[in-house]
Amino acid sequence: MKINTTNKQAIHNVLYTDLQKLMFRQYNALHEEFQMNDEDYDNAMSALYRDVYNCNSIKDINDLLLSYIDLFKGEKIYNHVFTLDGTMNYVFSLLIEHCKLMSEPV
């Protein structure tokens, strides 16, 4: 299923934000053990950005999530997100969460 051009930016933004959060958590947990530095993290973020913003369909997002499967270990969505239906529901949940956050008073 192709992503409508009107919706691409919003989907890319919430997807990138969520994966960035998961990657940051993984980096913090592993950086001392594997002697990772900030340059490694910056390179990983650049690659993530490139990969997310090249997604044009739910299948592209599904393939992306499969390539970042290690970020989801221990997550409750781990067993559900890696099918096309699961990926679509994951994206919907990110968009819904974003809408909830945007509607909360500051």
Instruction: Output the pTM of the full model.
Output: 0.83
Q: Is 2 left (phi over 0), alpha (psi -120 to 50) or beta?
A: beta
Of 47, 59, 39, 40, nearest in space to 16 by CA: 47
Most confident of 20-29, 32-41, 54-63, 93-102: 54-63
- The per-residue pLDDT for 28 is 81
Residue 104: DSSP 8-state:
S
**Please, what is the average pLDDT of the chain?**
85
- The per-residue pLDDT for 47 is 95
Give Cβ neighbours of residue 93 (< 8 Å, ≥ 6 apart).
Answer: none
Of 59, 58, 51, 49, nearest in space to 20 by CA: 49
Q: Which residue has the higher pLDDT, 97 or 34?
A: 97
2 forms beta bridges with: 57
Q: How confident is the model at residue 29 (pLDDT cuts 50, 70, 90)?
A: confident
pLDDT surpassing 80 at residue 14: yes
- The per-residue pLDDT for 105 is 74
